[in-house]
Structure 1
Amino acid sequence: MAKLFFILIFMKNIQVYDPALCCPTGVCGPSVDPDLVRVSALIAKLKKDGHSVERYNLGQQPTEFITNSVVKTVLAEEGVECLPLIFIDGQLVSRGEYPDLSVWNGWLEDGSPEI
């Protein structure tokens, strides 16, 4: 029981609101986007480690961007340049960039997403 409690404390709910993308992996189109490749690998690792991760693409899931009041407000005030928006446990932690692994480790406290 103590192990389950420990795991539940460190599992995070993560939402990533991406700009309009042809695909989230970064390997489609004429050139590879290394940031998207890195983020896709990180998200796969986070899910494998038990974190809840939802990723929304503005071009494919626009409704998700208006149902979250914070996302809707930030988009209205700043435009699509604010994307990606990243939330952890309901708190907006990043806007306008895909942070590097050291930043993610700080957010997750336990340093689990080592790739």
Structure 2
Amino acid sequence: MKKLELFEPAMCCSTGVCGPSVDEELLMVTSVFETFEGLETIEASRHNLTSDPDAFVNHPTILKLLQEKGNDILPVTLLDGEIVKEGAYPTLEEFGKYAEVQFVTQAANNSGGCCGGEGCC
């Protein structure tokens, strides 16, 4: 089983729906982690500097990285203990690669109506 860990900067919440506007990237990350909860092939955890500071202090790799580069390096993603991304959230494609799954997204239909101009389904 793979182990994916995401260490995020200080935020009031991790969902992306708090504050004056919705953060689409955080919504995607939240959805990905909810999907990972149902998989037996990956153990995924998210750590927010505000709500889970002990995770940062107790993880030698993250603690060293923060001491050397500061909080601006967050978010940091680890896969099986190795840093795979720092300074930005993984894309949906990267999350899929890490977990060896393929995410399917629905493209917006701009041709009118919910059935491409054919009326409602």
Coarse TM-score class (shorter-chain normalised) = 0.7 to 0.9
Give the alignment's TM-score, normalised by structure 1. 0.82
Q: Write the letter of the residue equivalent to 2:78.
A: F
What does 1:13-92 align with in structure 2 at a 5 Å threshold?
13-50=3-40, 51-92=42-83
- 1:82-114 per-residue CA deviation (whole Å, 9 max, x = no partner) reads 101111111111111112111222223x32444
Unaligned runs of 5+ in 2: 106-121
Give the alignment's TM-score, normalised by structure 2. 0.78
Unaligned runs of 5+ in 1: 1-10
- Identity value in percent: 33
In 1: Cα distance, 2:92 partner to 2:82 partner: 18
Superposed structure 1 runs of 4+ greater than 6 Å apart? none
In 2: Cα distance, 1:48 partner to 1:70 partner: 27
Of structures 1 and 2, the one with the larger relative CO (CA 8 A, separation 6+) is 1
Q: Is the 8 A contact 1:49 1:112 kept in 2?
A: no
Q: Alpha carbon RMSD of aligned pairs, Å?
A: 1.5
Q: Is the 8 A contact 1:46 1:113 kept in 2?
A: no
Report the secondary structure of 1:28's partner residue.
coil
